[in-house]
Amino acid sequence: MFHAPDSLPDHPLRFLFIDFNSYFAAVEQHDDAALAGKPVIVIPIESEHTGAIAASYEAKALGISRGTPVREARAICPGIAVRTARHDRYVEMHKLLMSEIERHLPIARIYSIDECACRLDSREQGLAVALAKAREIKAALAANVGPCLRSSIGIASSPLLAKLAAELHKPDGLTAIETRHLPDALAGLPLRAIPGIGEGIAKRLDRAGVEDFASLWALPPKQARAIWGSVVGERFLYALKGHDIPDEMPRQKSMIGHSRVLSPQHQHPGAARIVARALLLKAASRLRLYSLHAGRMTLAIRLRPHGWFEQDCAFTATQNSWALLRQLNALWDRATGTFDHLSLRSRIGLVSVHLHELGGTGPEPDLFMPPAERIGEQQEIALWAKIDGLNRRYKRQVVTLASHRGLDLNYLGVKIAFSRVPEAAEFDC
């Protein structure tokens, strides 16, 4: 249960928030000295038909940003370096950076691949000492990891305020916000720039007459609870005002899956189906990695130039790849059977496969299942576990389906959602 904190006139500077600037592009610059200080973009797949998922600050200065198509980026800057994403390397560098940070301060929470919050102790909560600690961390990161991996650091009394402070000056910024300077210190901040205010909440706030930071600051906590529709709104407002609100308990995984934007050679139905099956096998391997079972599957297909098809099905919870592949085949036939004549002439631009209704235990034994069938199911699961072990041991797909032989999709399925840092084993599934 959430208890509203007591009101205090001012709060100590309890948190230091570190946000690494243009992280993917910075890692590429770190690994290739020739790219230091040069415009760089990172793309999801090796194709001239995709867009940037990250851009260095040198590229941003030219008007190139996340989402800029590769061809447009080359037109703006003919010499721009284009690098294909290496997500396992980004995770490896993340661990090096976190290790270096922990030499100076305890990490309270890792928010994403490029963000973490550190807690300051009572001796470090004064403004001068906190700023000195931040400069110490910046210097150590540059000296012991690499100068290309710049960060913006925010200091404040709550992780939310510290994150907002870090956002104010990029790249390589250092900003402290004392609660006695609020709300003036953030008066010009757009509401959508605040973590926790997405499009849906922004619309609700607008309907409630909350249009700027000043009116958000003046919002009564109980009204924030009503606007958000839960205690999350009240927690958010107290954190915004500098209260140290304990983190909620981490939620159990509710979904495992992968999506893939298809390159031209995979955009016809036959090749797209193979990609969907490969994505499912990656998801199934992650199920077994986390000792989970799934009881529902969703398949989504996006067409080019337009069209979106989605099918889902429920089934007896399993982690058996063969059983999951049978469900996917049925979903694929149902989904493609809904394409009209025009759609059949379209290209498939994206496929997405997700597993839901996850649980740590499998279904109760079916007393009516023939013993041979039950034993066969157990043997198939054991076989796939052996395959997982081989693929992780050799850090590549040494055992896979014959139809997937030679399928090079560049880090198939495993991507870094910025709210989650994948485990290294996921790249070897």
Lowest model confidence (mean pLDDT) among 88-92, 357-361, 392-396: 392-396
Q: Tell me phi and psi for residue 213, to 5 degrees.
A: -65, -40
**Given this model, what pLDDT does residue 371 score?**
63
Confidence at 426, pLDDT banded by 50, 70, 90 = low
Report pLDDT digits (tens) over 320-357: 999 999 999 999 988 877 665 445 567 888 899 999 99
Of the chain, the percentage scoring pLDDT greater than 90 comes to: 62
Helices (H), 77-218: 87-101, 127-144, 159-168, 199-207, 213-217
Q: Tell me, what amino acid is at 360?
A: G
Residue 248 pLDDT grade (very low, low, confident, very high; cuts 50, 70, 90): low
Rounded Cα distance between 368 and 252, Å, is 32
At 263-298, the pLDDT tens digits run 888 888 888 999 999 999 999 999 988 889 999 999
What's the fold here for domain 255-428? Dna Ligase; domain 1 (3.30.1490)
Q: Is 158 helix (H, G, I), strand (E, B) or coil?
A: coil
Average pLDDT, integer, range 112-132: 95
The number of angstroms, rounded, from the C-alpha of 278 to the middle of its chain's C-alpha atoms is 21
How sure is the predictor about 368, in pLDDT bands with cuts at 50, 70 and 90?
Answer: low
HSE-CB for 160 with a 13 A CA cutoff? 20
- For residue 183, whether the previous peptide bond is cis, meaning omega lies within 30 degrees of 0, is yes
Place domain 8-180 in its CATH homologous superfamily: Reverse transcriptase/Diguanylate cyclase domain (3.30.70.270)
Task: Output the pLDDT for position 342.
Answer: 44
Higher pLDDT, residue 210 or 393: 210
Which tens digit of pLDDT belongs to each residue from 175-197?
999 999 999 999 989 999 998 89
Q: What are the backbone dihedrals phi and psi of residue 112, each rounded to the nearest 5 degrees, phi first?
A: -165, -175
pLDDT tens figures, 9-42? 578 999 999 999 999 999 999 999 999 999 999 9
- 182-249 is a CATH 1.10.150.20 domain: yes
Is the per-residue pLDDT at 410 higher than 60? no
- The DSSP H or E segment spanning 384 is helix 371-394
> Band of the pLDDT at 386, cuts 50, 70, 90?
confident
Could you state, in order of their start, the residue ranges of all structural domains in the chain?
8-180, 182-249, 255-428
pTM: 0.71
Where does the pLDDT of residue 8 fall: very low under 50, low under 70, confident under 90, or very high at 90 and above? very low
Share of the chain above pLDDT 70, in %: 83
